[in-house]
Structure 1
Amino acid sequence: MKDHQSLSENMSTVIMLLSVFFLPGVFAERCGGHTAGFLIKTPKSIVALSGSCFHVPCSFKIEDGENDFNNGKQASAAWIPSNNYIFDISQGVNNHDINITGDIKQKNCTTVFSDVKTTQETKYFLRIERGDYKATGCSTSLQIKVQDSPEKPRIEPDLKDLKEHQSVTVTCSAFTPFFTQPAKFVAFRTR
């Protein structure tokens, strides 16, 4: 009976300790033992057409270390693919294919992804360094999905019920990737 009571007390102690250590939210701010130093505001997922470009609006808010961030002179940032070590800025990409166009000092991490390839399909984490401030947005990732062919255009309204001499306005819409040159459209009229 004494062993059963002792076992019951030990299990209660273990359950209480687990409850303390694994409370919801305790690990929400940590990523692999690292503190998430800032919060990113960006789309969670983007679908891109292979060979195209796209623009990612992005901004961030410093959670811990605002003084360290503001005291730094040089600012650098890079998007790090999830298959690399996300706490080392040298593992990231910030070149002509993935170019952070926003001003990191102003907490703007807006980025242009150019000539997207299927090999770039993964999650990306933003790493920021400025002076003594070094942090990775490890709790928020940007998922890039790449398609080989575009979606079919939609024509509205459905033209199968159209009759001769009937006037109709037709709207055609399709996904358009981000290009450096504006798209050109050709309009025509049939009789």
Structure 2
Amino acid sequence: MSGVLACFGQRDLIATMPDRLDVLTGSCIQIPCLFDIPDQNKYTFNSTILTSGVWIKGNPYFGGHPDSVIFNSTEMVNRYQGKITGNMSQKNCTTVVFNVTTNYTNIYFFRIESQPFRATDPDKSVNIVVSDLPSSPILTVSGEVKEGTPVSLNCSAVAPCPEHPPELTWTLPTQFTTENQLQENPDQTKSVLSTVTFTPSYLHHEKNITCTAVYPVGTSNKTAEHNMMLNVSFSPKDTSTSISPADPVLVGSCVNLTCSSTANPPVTNFTWFQISGGKTTQIASGQSYTLNVTVGNGGLYYCEGRNSHGCGKSNEVQLAIKGQGEVIGFAAGTLGAFLLISLISLFVWRRNSRLHDGLERTDSPQGQNSPVGTVCTNQATAGEEPEKPAEDQPEEIQYGDIDFSKLQTKETPAAAQDRVQGQESVYAEVNVTGSRAQEPPLNNLDGLYAQVT
């Protein structure tokens, strides 16, 4: 009668179970199952009466297909070894089947037997797939994997046999912490969830991580794994500047500078700077910078790369201009020589000026500042003619006394020159009346003589 009602689209029993279950050969499988009775049949179902749970393989028909029944909870012997672990009185028909083999792969329908109510849900079945290898775990990432920011990775593996859940292990290029738990999914199936937490670095970008699920089956283990490449976001790293040609270049030649950087996402803006005379100037933008060399282009150059996560500065490179050092050296030498000659000329001019001033101070006009002294000579008596010397009488040398306390010397240019050179000589010109003396020889620089005229 249930089959007839099913043909007319009426459901006497509403079963709830997963659409598909994957299981390993030799392992067990748990089939989550719940059922409900439609309102029109609730008066015929008595939850206090023992209710049998029946699993039918391949089709929903119970009568006339005894080979299709693989399990009946009221039977001691069944084609499939298993048991109903749910409480039927509470409409829980969860069932565990042991020692699954590959020929268990098929669709299955659930039926209840209870006096006076019997019904099968022909519209709901579970597809059981048996394989020799476990399915791969599932890897997910919570949020963006960004450099310096802690991130969590989740690995989930189905647990078709909750009595022997899989063990999850991780392979990461850095230190991490893990947390494992058995959890229930929305369709009532079980799975093992492993969460790993770590702080990524730009060095972890495009590195592989692996989650491995190890399933115990009998006395052996079966494994499955999932690999994933990390996609780490980071600011520009390893930014560098290259110059071509690297050797000193001539004025008027062409030089190409290139900036390179590692970043994720890639660098969107390159900026060029020049350091000259201790001053930094922004000169251009773009990954490459080409210039025709002039004298003012010499100096240090560097670039900066920037993306949405920050910027990175490159090394500094020297742009050397051929011959510029020699020209600068020659100019510096010429300037130094000019300054030296100027200093020497200034020194000589000031020395001569001081010497000229000294001569003007000491060389006064005739009759002024004449040396004053008492000169004793033989004078004639008043009114008498002076005695004339005989023709053959030799001239006598007349000596005079000089009072040096009142004497002021008259310095001649020659005397000034001697004074400058460190020789000390004193000369005096004395006018003596009444006699004419022969000039004594001046052969003693340490003595003092008077010339009598």
Superposition TM-score tier, normalisation by shorter sequence: 0.5 to 0.7
The aligned runs of 1:1-191 (5 Å cut-off) are 30-32=5-7, 35-63=10-38, 64-70=40-46, 73-82=49-58, 85-87=61-63, 91-94=69-72, 95=78, 97-152=81-136, 174-178=157-161, 180-181=163-164
Deviation at 1:79, TM superposition (A): 0.8
* Structure 1 residue 126, shift from structure 2 partner: 0.7
Q: Which amino acid aligns with 2:43?
A: N
Q: Kindly indicate which of the two structures has a greater share of residues assigned to strand.
A: 2
Contact persistence 2:60–2:109 (CA under 8 A) = no
Distance of aligned partners of 1:128 and 1:89 in 2 relative to their CA distance in 1, 3 Å threshold: farther
Once the two structures are TM-superposed, the CA of residue 81 in structure 1 deviates from its matched residue by 0.5
**TM-score, scaled relative to structure 1:** 0.61
CA gap of 1:100–1:57, structure 2 versus 1, over 3 A, is same
| Cα 1:101–1:155 shift into 2, 3 Å | closer
Q: Residue 153 and residue 105 in structure 1: after superposition, are their counterparts in 2 closer, same or farther (change >3 A)?
A: closer
Number of equivalent positions = 154
Distance 1:68 1:145 in 2: 36
Quote how far apart the aligned CAs of 1:37 are.
0.8
The 1-side partners of 2:156 and 2:171 are apart by: 15
The 3-state SS of whatever aligns with 1:31 is helix
Amino acid at match of 1:40: A
| TM-aligned CA distance change 1:184 to 1:145, over 3 Å | closer
2:30/2:162 contact within 8 Å kept: no
State the Cα distance separating 1:179 from its structure 2 match.
Answer: 5.3
Q: What is the aligned-residue identity percentage?
A: 32
* SS of residue paired to 1:180: coil
Q: Distance in 2 between matches of 1:53 and 1:182?
A: 10
Contact 1:87 1:136 in 2 (8 A): no
Q: Is the 8 A contact 1:75 1:130 kept in 2?
A: yes
Spell out, residue by residue over 1:117-157, the C-alpha distance to the aligned partner (whole angstroms, 9 max, x if none).
11111111111011100001111111111222123457889
**Closer, same or farther: CA 126–175 of 1 in aligned 2, 3 Å:** closer
CA contact (8 A) 1:77 1:89 kept: no
| C-alpha separation in 2, matches of 1:189 and 1:123 | 40
1:88 Cα offset (Å): 6.9
Judged with a 3 Å threshold, the aligned counterparts in structure 2 of structure 1 residues 68 and 148 are, in CA distance, closer, same or farther, namely: same
Structure 1 residues 16-61: Cα deviation after superposition (integer angstroms, max 9, x where no partner) = xxxxxxxxxxxxx943469531111111221222222222221111
Unpaired segments ≥5 residues, structure 1: 1-28, 158-167
- Structure 2 Cα separation of the partners of residues 76 and 126 of structure 1: 11
Larger Rg: 2
1:87 deviates by 4.5
Higher mean alpha-carbon deviation, 89-98 vs 52-61, is at: 89-98
Sort the Cα spacing of 1:37 and 1:150 in 2 relative to 1 into closer, same or farther, 3 A: same
Task: Measure the CA separation in 2 of the matches of 1:66 and 1:183.
Answer: 41
Quickly say closer, same or farther: Cα 1:185–1:78, change in 2 above 3 A: same
Alpha-carbon distance between aligned partners in 1 of 2:152 and 2:88, rounded to the nearest angstrom:
46
